[in-house]
C-alpha cells in the first residue's frame, strides 16, 4: 500500500460516483480484468509523485490501463 492509496472507507464513498454497474442483462463485452480500485490508486500515484506513466510500479495495473483517456 502506498501513502496516496485510497482506504477502503474512502473507496466506499467514492466508488458510487465512479462505478455504475449495468444490470446483468445489459452488459456487453468482456468483464474487466483489472480492479477499478487499483486503477484509481495508480492514477493517484502518478498525480501525487509526478512520475511518468510508464514508470508506474508493478504493484499497480499496467500503465496503459491506468492512463486516463485523452480527449
User: Does residue 17 register a pLDDT over 80?
Assistant: yes
Its pTM stands at 0.77
Q: Where are the alpha helices (DSSP H) in 1-71?
A: 8-18, 36-49, 63-66
Q: Which residues contact 46 (CB under 8 A, 6 or more apart)?
A: 52, 53, 56, 66
How high is the pLDDT of residue 65?
A: 84
CA dist., res. 31 & res. 5, Å (int): 24
Domain ranges of the chain: 1-18+33-71
As a 3-state breakdown, the chain gives helix, strand, coil percent values, each rounded to 5, of 50, 0, 50
How high is the pLDDT of residue 3?
A: 86
Amino acid at each position: 500500500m502506498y501513502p496516496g492509496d485510497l482506504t477502503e472507507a474512502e473507496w466506499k464513498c467514492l466508488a458510487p460516483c465512479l462505478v455504475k454497474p449495468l444490470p446483468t442483462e445489459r452488459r456487453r463485452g468482456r468483464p474487466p480484468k483489472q480492479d477499478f480500485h487499483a486503477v484509481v490508486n495508480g492514477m493517484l500515484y502518478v498525480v501525487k509523485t509526478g512520475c511518468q506513466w510508464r514508470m508506474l510500479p508493478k504493484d499497480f495495473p499496467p500503465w496503459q490501463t491506468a492512463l486516463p483517456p485523452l480527449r
